[in-house]
A and B are shown apart, each in its own frame.
Chain A
């Protein structure tokens, strides 16, 4: 588990493909927002006071909290 990287490990401006979503409860909600396996995800920036990040998923902007983002696992 610890070897897997989440979108939180991306640096500002970096992108990757989503591998999986690893928390059942959040998965459904994230998927309806377009956060799907195989989608391209880019870390746009962190929120000014921390706690949340600005992502681009296939070109659409989505903001998620860190504790939500750590369940978005990316391909290495």
Chain B
């Protein structure tokens, strides 16, 4: 998508300045998302058509408060803007500031000004101004000595003017005459001049910034780092104190300037409304209640509304499968396409309704400004477990599905809190556990009522959900003791004024999340699906043939119908397949949990997704259709140990299996998403290992103590 000959424009600004809206206005559908190399910081790039024949690349850099970074996002911005050789270093910066927070938002602008960047200053959200207010943009233009454009990213006002200005600027060279906002003190100046020599740059302020950050900046050579370290030490360069001095001095310049621009008029009129809304939404009593009501609505939406489109997708794939079998006939080719590729594809696409609905609601909460209130309200509780206020939303959505929940942790800026949230999210029972719970719960307790009001099976269900919730919090706490933090945990979050969501932004956000899932997690899900198909369909050819023959003979003896014969054959073949061999070989390991090799096979195949357990059980017990839950239950009820004649599915075995499914990481999609979101297999493996161990030990405990 990017063309090396095209000029690059970077959008820079504080979080909540409306950068993304401007990005969407400029690029429309010509945009895509990637990660910056080596870090899991999102990089959004797109192409803007300025007029006929003139196109530029637009890169939307993460929100950033100043050149003294507090997060990974901000470090990325600093790296790009201070290193001329960085592949993302732009030809032009379009700096976006919100007119309602002009003073705060100009801090970074003055720093970039002093770095000598070629720049346009965009004053955003002018739609929120009273009509009577006409800001004095000329004053800004004069002081910054660069073009200033006032736009509204919400209504699209003056976006065309911005495009023209970008076109003009990109073909001109930046004005050399700049009066720095910050004049270095003597000691800074001395240090910076030496550093400037080391770096071979003319810009003293750039050298000063590098002197602050040389320790972690990846583009410096080892020699440069050593030399800078020596100089910094020699001069007694004081990192934090100088940083504060600089920030204060900049605000001393900015304050009178913004007064001149805004003429001391209060710009916004939504402040009162925000106060009124907040007096309810963040109220001591009503706040949490409304939050949980909203979460219940969200849970309901993802859990049940998504069912319909999910069924359509599954039905669609089922008919596609039938069509393939009809056209290509029976055989391995059709099997590969239907049971391997189509099953994998369906396993990917079936998540789209849930992901879409969840991110639609989350984006609306983010866009409207509600999300930061939720963080404010629950920060304290979640902190006790090593989590963050935002983890609350992720964990609740995990009750529907861990996949979108893990994707939603991107908004947690503290790395440690984010990793812990990702690690524990699969412990919350998701919708895919329901079919498994529903099948097995009947073996644990009969359908009776307790104390006349509660349904016994319902109580077991509730117990399983509670077990998931409690263990997620306990595990989070344990993780927080072991994971080292890369930065101090802060709350310090802006509570912006409420505003109706910009639907265009919501749309792009949802679309981006869905694509990211399909492309990144989808690949892994497809691969595992094909592998599992292979394991379940192939085996040593001698055994497979024997299984087939045995089914033929038995079917003949028992006078079975053609369908029944096929089911019996499928069952024997699964037993003889590699999956069957694996199932049998792990029997000694899972025997202490009360499981036999048949359950072993189902454990292996249901690694694809938990609900596959039911389908595999159906195949093993040669029940044609998974719809026929009753007959699977009957067959399982009748199952006895061949050696001892004892029932296999005693209440304790079933309970052991249920608890196993509460904990076990039986979901390749979650694994794939964890890998994608953390940027490495390491955390995915940690997750798989600890959840498997937890599942095994809990089941072992239950079966050995109560069995």
Binding site for B on A (CB under 8 A): 24-25, 27-34, 36-37, 44-52, 54, 58-65, 68
Contact = CB atoms under 8 A, between A and B. Distances in A.
B271 A27 contact: no
B271 A59 contact: yes
Given A36-B251, A48-B283, A54-B278, A65 B491 contact: yes
A9 to B, nearest CB: 19
Given A47-B377, A62-B495, A34 B240 contact: no
A24 B241 CA distance: 7
Given A25-B240, A28-B240, A32-B66, A63 B491 contact: yes
A25 to B, nearest CB: 7
The 5 closest A-B pairs by CB, nearest first: A51-B380, A61-B495, A32-B65, A63-B376, A34-B104
B288 interface: yes
A31 B251 contact: yes
A52 B376 contact: yes
Contacts of B137: none
Nearest to A27: B244
Contacts of B375: 63
Contacts of B83: none
Contacts of B377: 47-49
Contacts of A30: 492
Given A59-B271, A60-B496, 9 more contacts: A27-B244, A28-B70, A32-B104, A45-B283, A47-B376, A47-B379, A61-B494, A61-B497, A64-B491
A62 B493 contact: yes
Interface string B65-94: 110101000000000000000000000000
B372 interface: yes
Interface of B: 65-66, 68, 70, 100-101, 103-104, 107, 240-241, 243-244, 247-248, 251, 266, 268, 271, 274-275, 278-279, 282-285, 287-288, 372, 375-381, 383, 488, 490-497
B322 to A, nearest CB: 54
Contact of A61 (B266, B274, B381, B491): B274
A33 B494 contact: yes
A49 B378 contact: yes
A33 B244 CA distance: 13
A32 B107 contact: yes
B243 A28 contact: yes
Contacts of A33: 65, 104, 492, 494
Contacts of A24: 240-241, 244
Contacts of A54: 278, 282, 376, 495
A65 B379 CA distance: 9
Contacts of B241: 24
B7 to A, nearest CB: 30
B282 A60 contact: no
A63 B492 contact: yes
Contacts of A61: 274, 278, 494-497
Query: Residue among B251, B283, B491 with the most chain A CB within 10 A?
Result: B491
Nearest to B107: A32
B381 A49 contact: yes
Nearest to B383: A51
A64 B375 CA distance: 11
A45 to B, nearest CB: 6
Most chain B CB neighbours (cut-off 10 Å) among A37, A49, A58, A61 = A61
B277 to A, nearest CB: 11
Contacts of B378: 49
B266 A59 contact: yes
A15 to B, nearest CB: 13
A34 B494 CA distance: 10
A63 B493 contact: yes
Nearest to B68: A28
Contact of B490 (A29, A51, A59): A29
Nearest to A38: B255
A47 B380 contact: yes
7 contacts: A47-B380, A49-B380, A52-B491, A58-B103, A63-B372, A65-B491, A68-B490
Given A33-B65, A63-B372, A63-B495, A52 B380 contact: yes
A50 to B, nearest CB: 6
Contact of B380 (A27, A29, A50, A68): A50
Contacts of B492: 29-30, 33, 62-65, 68
B101 A60 contact: yes
A59 B99 CA distance: 13
